[in-house]
């Protein structure tokens, strides 16, 4: 996710965002002007094109696509906000409502509580890597035992397998009397909420925007940019590249914004900052365990928070 570094965004950065398509448009605009003014190809001028009508229609189409893309991005961020809240609730409940039956079990219970919280941290890291299509093992090694890792290596859905182990261990705690039925149900409901958020994230990841949403707005913007200099050259002359490039830049930028936001889990600079979110969760949960040696929080790198 790109984060603001300065009060004002530099024009150079805005132009670089569109990049190659804008450069091609400038070259094309200059070619049209040279053909009309130098070579006297009067037929390249099409002043009667209803440019404003086309622009209005295309603007509505692109705005609708962008709204749909942003809705996907914002839903992804909302789901991960729920994952943050449920992770904190899980650790808080695990460390406060579970009680040993006698002093002899206190040490064992504390170990189990630590395992349950570490499972949750591992679950969040595994879910992040699962959505990004990356291997999770580097993140899981400090959190799980070698035996636990070996059981997970054949799993197709590692975060779901981790949560299965969380449920099994939680049930064992209930059977041993460390947690009553009411609190067990609350913790189990917390696991259900985590699964719901994971399912929502996977739905966004595995259901791309319909191809028509992606192809036709992009095609319409390209056609509009091709028509721009043809409609302006007879009136603006040598200034055609200025007017055409400015208007074209707006449409090209809007088209790229929608395409960048379509998949919030693609591991690009425009994504939901999953690494920063999971790192924050790990720091919070380790502190609830009373740990003081913590990994540093993620910070923006060159204006991007991953």
3-state secondary structure of 13: helix
Q: Give the Cα separation of 230 and 29 in Å (integer).
A: 9
Question: Does residue 38 lie in a domain region?
Answer: yes
Q: Which of 265, 79, 86, 109 is nearest to 174 (CA)?
A: 109
Question: Does residue 293 lie in a domain region?
Answer: no
With cut-offs at 50, 70 and 90, classify the pLDDT of residue 214. Answer: confident
Q: Which of 276, 227, 261 is nearest to 67 (CA)?
A: 261
Question: Does residue 296 lie in a domain region?
Answer: no
Question: Does residue 136 lie in a domain region?
Answer: yes
Q: What is the pLDDT of residues 246-258, one digit of tens each?
A: 888 888 888 888 8
Q: In the prediction, which pLDDT does 84 show? A: 95
Residue 7 has pLDDT above 60, yes or no: no
Q: In the prediction, which pLDDT does 58 show? A: 87
Q: What is the pLDDT of residues 124-152, one digit of tens each?
A: 999 999 999 999 998 999 999 899 999 99
Q: How far apart are the first and last CA of the chain?
A: 6
Question: Does residue 303 lie in a domain region?
Answer: no
Q: What is the pLDDT of residues 180-195, one digit of tens each?
A: 889 999 999 999 999 9
Residue 245 has pLDDT above 70, yes or no: yes
Q: Are 121 and 140 spatial neighbours (Cβ–Cβ below 8 Å)?
A: no
Question: Does residue 182 lie in a domain region?
Answer: yes
Q: Which of 265, 267, 268 is nearest to 256 (CA)?
A: 268
Residue 216 CB contacts under 8 Å (≥ 6 apart), including other chains? 61
Q: How many structural domains compose the chain?
A: 1
Q: How many CB atoms lie within 10 A of CB 16?
A: 10
Q: Are 77 and 130 spatial neighbours (Cβ–Cβ below 8 Å)?
A: no
Q: Which two tokens stand for residue 287?
A: 């502190």
Question: Does residue 102 lie in a domain region?
Answer: yes
Rounded to 5 degrees, φ, ψ at 247 are: -70, -45
With cut-offs at 50, 70 and 90, classify the pLDDT of residue 13. Answer: low
What residue numbers bound the domain in which 18 lies? 11-288
Question: Does residue 49 lie in a domain region?
Answer: yes
Rounded to 5 degrees, φ, ψ at 294 are: -125, 150
Q: What is the pTM of this model?
A: 0.84
Q: What is the pLDDT of residues 80-136, one digit of tens each?
A: 999 999 999 999 999 998 888 888 888 888 989 999 999 999 999 999 999 999 999
Q: What is the pLDDT of residues 53-78, one digit of tens each?
A: 888 888 888 888 888 889 999 999 99
């Amino acid at each position: 996710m790109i984060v603001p570094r300065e009060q004002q965004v530099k024009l150079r950065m805005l132009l670089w965002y569109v990049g190659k398509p804008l450069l091609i448009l400038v070259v094309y605009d200059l070619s049209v002007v040279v053909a009309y003014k130098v070579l006297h190809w009067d037929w390249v001028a099409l002043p009667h094109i209803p440019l404003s009508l086309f622009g209005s229609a295309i603007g509505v189409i692109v705005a609708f696509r962008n709204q749909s893309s942003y809705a996907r991005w914002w839903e992804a961020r909302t789901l991960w906000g729920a994952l943050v809240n449920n992770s904190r609730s899980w650790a808080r409940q695990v460390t406060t409502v579970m009680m040993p039956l006698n002093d002899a079990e206190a040490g064992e219970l504390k170990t189990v509580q630590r395992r349950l919280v570490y499972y949750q941290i591992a679950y969040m890291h595994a879910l992040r890597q699962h959505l990004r299509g990356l291997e999770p093992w580097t993140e899981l090694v400090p959190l799980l035992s070698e035996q636990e890792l070996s059981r997970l290596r054949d799993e197709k859905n590692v975060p779901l397998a981790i949560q299965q182990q969380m449920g099994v261990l939680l049930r064992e705690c209930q059977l041993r009397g460390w947690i009553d039925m009411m609190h067990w149900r609350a913790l189990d409901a917390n696991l259900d909420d985590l699964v719901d958020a994971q399912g929502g994230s996977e739905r966004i990841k595995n259901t791309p925007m319909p191809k028509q949403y992606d192809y036709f707005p992009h095609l319409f913007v390209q056609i509009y940019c091709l028509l721009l200099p043809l409609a302006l050259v007879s009136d603006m002359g040598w200034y055609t590249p200025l007017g055409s490039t400015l208007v074209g830049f707006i449409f090209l930028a809007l088209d790229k914004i929608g395409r960048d936001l379509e998949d919030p889990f693609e591991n690009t600079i425009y994504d939901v900052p999953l690494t920063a979110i999971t790192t924050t969760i790990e720091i919070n949960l380790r502190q609830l365990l009373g740990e003081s040696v913590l990994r540093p929080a993620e910070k923006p790198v060159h204006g991007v928070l991953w």
